[in-house]
Structure 1
Amino acid sequence: MTTILVDADACPVREEIYRVAARLDLPLVLVTNGARPVRPPPLPKARLVIVSEGADKADDWIADNATPQDVCITADILLAARCLEKGARVITHKGHEFTPQNIGTAVAGRELARHLREMGTGGGGPAPMAQADRSRFLSTLDRVLQAALRA
């Protein structure tokens, strides 16, 4: 069965995910290291997984539990790559879908940005969420979930 796995610590679209999970009656797992408060939604198929604090513990849990039927929601490019290796579908909170065809470029771009930041010439980070991002996210989430359910 398709499950929605959410890298929940910094996810700005949790409410949107809750609505879609409820509408489609899908299991939903929010994974957090507890650094930020995350309350599980009042949905019968939702659960909150709190992992131990530490770098990448939530990522490890998601990557270890992802299956080819699942849809993972994360902005973490390295976690996206790990989920794709397991056959899961992956989208960001701004509605960008990572695929086996584009993840290599994303990982390379991440490394380049890290290098530029270390040299002191990097940018100021991602742009804040806009309403257009939320709309794109919902559209992409619906499309990707429908594809996962058909598979």
Structure 2
Amino acid sequence: MRFIIDGDGSPVKEKVIQLAAEFHLSVIIVTSIAHYTMKEYPSFVSFVYVEKGADRADYEIVKLAQPTDWVITQDYGLASLLLPKGVRVFHHSGKEYLPETIDGLLMQRFEHAQLRKQHRRVKGPNPFTQQDRQLFLSLLREELTKSIR
């Protein structure tokens, strides 16, 4: 089991790394070369860099992910590609994407895109706070604990 993070703009990378250390798991962060970092990370964290471009990181994640992996992403489309592979997929809110709810999320995304095309305002998410990060950490820790038992 390992974590794979959709790294472009993920607000919970550090929390996932914290959990991975606690549970002795590895982390792969897939991100655009535009987000290259020289920051030092623990040895159990690796990076896969992809060229700039729409969905490049997503395609790499789909290619890398195995049924035992847990992926962290806010991308509903990516989640919909991973679920049939048996991968567990989590939003940075801590909620798990499920086969029975993914179609509704994709429909909502489509409807919002249609409204934006009509120049109608669609409310975006609230800013991500430290409290949100702590909630994510708590929810994911709970899921890990259940899964390892």
- TM-score, structure 2 length as denominator? 0.90
Aligned residue for 1:44? 43
The percentage of aligned residue pairs carrying the same residue is: 35
The 5 Å alignment of 1:1-150 reads 2-38=1-37, 42-149=41-148
Give the drift of 1:132: 3.3
**Structure 2 Cα separation of the partners of residues 41 and 7 of structure 1:** 19
- AA aligned to 2:81 is R
Structure 1 runs of 4+ aligned residues shifted over 6 Å read: none
**Structure 1 Cα separation of the partners of residues 12 and 133 of structure 2:** 7
Unpaired runs of at least 5, structure 1: none
User: Greater share of helix residues, 1 or 2?
Assistant: 2
- SS of the aligned residue for 1:43 comes to coil
Unpaired runs of at least 5, structure 2: none
Give the drift of 1:146: 3.5
Give the drift of 1:147: 4.6
The question of whether the paired residues in 2 share the 8 Å contact of 1:8 and 1:38 is answered with no
- SS of the aligned residue for 1:101 comes to helix
Give the drift of 1:92: 1.1
C-alpha RMSD of matched pairs (Å) = 1.7
The question of whether the paired residues in 2 share the 8 Å contact of 1:90 and 1:97 is answered with yes
